Amino acid sequence: MSAKELAKHERQLPPIVCVGTPRWEGGDYLTSTVQLMSELARTERVLYVDYPYTYKDLWTAQRGTAKGIPVDVLSGQALALQPRTLAHGGQVQLLRLPLFLPANFFKNTWLYDQLLRFNAARARKAIQQALDQLGWAVERPIVINAFNPALGNALAGQLNESLQLYYCYDEISAAPWVARHGARHEQQMLQNADCTVVSSQGLFRTKEALAKQLALVKNGVDLSIFTTTDQGRPADLPSGPIIGYIGSVDERLDLELLCATAKAFPETTLVFLGRIVAEAHANKLSTLTNVHLLGSRPKERLGDYVNAFTVGLIPFVKNDLTAGIYPLKINEYFALGVPVVSTHFADLSDFSQYISIGEQTSDFLAALAQILDGKLPAEPEACQAFAAKNTWEGRAKQLRGLMADLHQQKHSS
């Protein structure tokens, strides 16, 4: 039996409609939402409703001041529904919605909600047309809303869904780009959804008393990315010991701690791989002679970069936003046997026997000094074995099992 025939034989779930906040394409790295949907597509029919672009997004893209925005699709020059064949042979149907009216900047809740209803009506029509085109409309889909509770509430019951899940991977009340209206809409979404799926113990604790039903599906690692290639050490990496970080340079990073690290270890180089979000952070770091901000690099080479790290950092500040993070970067470092030093920003009990955790700056620097001296918190083989148990494929199987159980419970009578 072929892989496609096996997938069809094993398929038990209705089509999955994921209304995503993350872009499917155009981001620096794959997000947890994209990773989970990609893995579910091994056996399931997945319609991924892409990040809802606005007229403002199109305008900035046409002026050349924004990157990664599919101008050809948004301007009507390309099909809105397009298949994407994945490396494992599965397929995701990618839907770009009609342009939304920008609304997040409005402080007035009544006006925001009026625009939300207008945008949601456009989204509902586009999603329904896509389901009709795919021949999936005769089945009642499972709808997963990924961290866009406002749109999720407006679409609730509008897609003839058989099951509704809310996927929460950040603390929305502490996320500045969405907190103004997102927090109040999340309160309703937690009750609307048949189940809320969170990505960390911290989020589980904050949502437990509010959600109708709650489940924990932690972040994973893509071992096919975090492996080395035959190209070896990238040429743009400096020689000598490297203290490395992979991820966005944003407000989550403890800037004072990073500056102290660079000054405490002048014989090493601090390397940052990822997009620049907080310009003030980047400007401050770039004044230090042993700091290299490399920006984004192709995902196919990420393993070569991380493999060159002497130590990997998780240098987050401790606040309400970071308290809800399950740091997928740890498993990405571990996949290549790279030792890790982290601040104590969240519940890190899963990793406590494998990493060094600095409560204070002095602890953090002392842990780095030990690793640079060859005294590792855990053997590289043990770290790699840990990462191998935490793949996205395994997380997706967990999510699929959860949806199958919920669907059976809801529709068995």
H-helix or E-strand containing 184?
Answer: helix 179-192
The answer to whether residue 2 scores a pLDDT higher than 70 is no
Mean pLDDT of 244-251: 94
Distance CA(239)–CA(56), nearest Å, equals: 43
Whether 404 and 380 map to the same domain: the answer is no
Whether 396 and 374 map to the same domain: the answer is no
Threshold 0.95, pTM exceeds: no
Mean pLDDT of 285-310: 95
Whether 293 and 352 map to the same domain: the answer is yes
What pLDDT is stored for residue 3 in this prediction? 46
Domain annotation covers residue 233: no
Give the model confidence (pLDDT) of 374-408 as tens digits: 999 999 999 999 999 999 999 999 999 999 999 99
Domain annotation covers residue 237: no
Whether 337 and 358 map to the same domain: the answer is yes
Distance CA(106)–CA(269), nearest Å, equals: 43
Average pLDDT score over the chain: 93
Distance CA(413)–CA(406), nearest Å, equals: 13
Rounded percentage of the chain residues whose pLDDT exceeds 70: 95
User: What is the domain range of residue 259?
Assistant: 242-388
Q: What is the CATH number of the domain that holds 73?
A: 3.40.50.11010
35 token code pair:
């990773």
Distance CA(85)–CA(41), nearest Å, equals: 10
What pLDDT is stored for residue 10 in this prediction? 54
Whether 258 and 149 map to the same domain: the answer is no
Query: Helices 279-286 and 255-264, interaxial angle, to 10°?
Result: 10
Give the model confidence (pLDDT) of 182-192 as tens digits: 999 999 999 99
- Domain tally for the chain? 2
The answer to whether residue 27 scores a pLDDT higher than 80 is no
Domain annotation covers residue 300: yes
Domain annotation covers residue 77: yes
Domain annotation covers residue 234: no
Distance CA(122)–CA(155), nearest Å, equals: 10
What pLDDT is stored for residue 8 in this prediction? 47
Whether 168 and 188 map to the same domain: the answer is yes
Structure confidence at residue 1 as a pLDDT band (50, 70, 90): very low
Whether 57 and 174 map to the same domain: the answer is yes
Whether 65 and 145 map to the same domain: the answer is yes
Whether 384 and 395 map to the same domain: the answer is no
Which of 369, 376, 363 has the alpha carbon at shortest distance from 257? 363
Give the model confidence (pLDDT) of 89-122 as tens digits: 999 999 999 999 999 888 899 999 999 999 999 9
Distance CA(405)–CA(126), nearest Å, equals: 29
Domain annotation covers residue 227: no
What pLDDT is stored for residue 299 in this prediction? 87
Structure confidence at residue 413 as a pLDDT band (50, 70, 90): low
CB atoms within 10 A of CB 204: 20
Give the model confidence (pLDDT) of 326-367 as tens digits: 999 999 999 999 999 999 999 999 999 999 999 999 999 999
Whether 173 and 250 map to the same domain: the answer is no
Q: What is the CATH number of the domain that holds 378?
A: 3.40.50.2000
Domain annotation covers residue 231: no
The answer to whether residue 158 scores a pLDDT higher than 80 is yes
Whether 323 and 399 map to the same domain: the answer is no
Whether 364 and 277 map to the same domain: the answer is yes
What pLDDT is stored for residue 9 in this prediction? 44
Rounded percentage of the chain residues whose pLDDT exceeds 90: 84
Distance CA(44)–CA(78), nearest Å, equals: 26
E runs forming strands in 107-158? 142-146
Nearest 5°: the CA angle 35, 39, 45 is: 115
The answer to whether residue 7 scores a pLDDT higher than 70 is no
What is 4-32 written as a DSSP string?
HHHHHHH--SPPEEEE-SS-SSSSSS--H
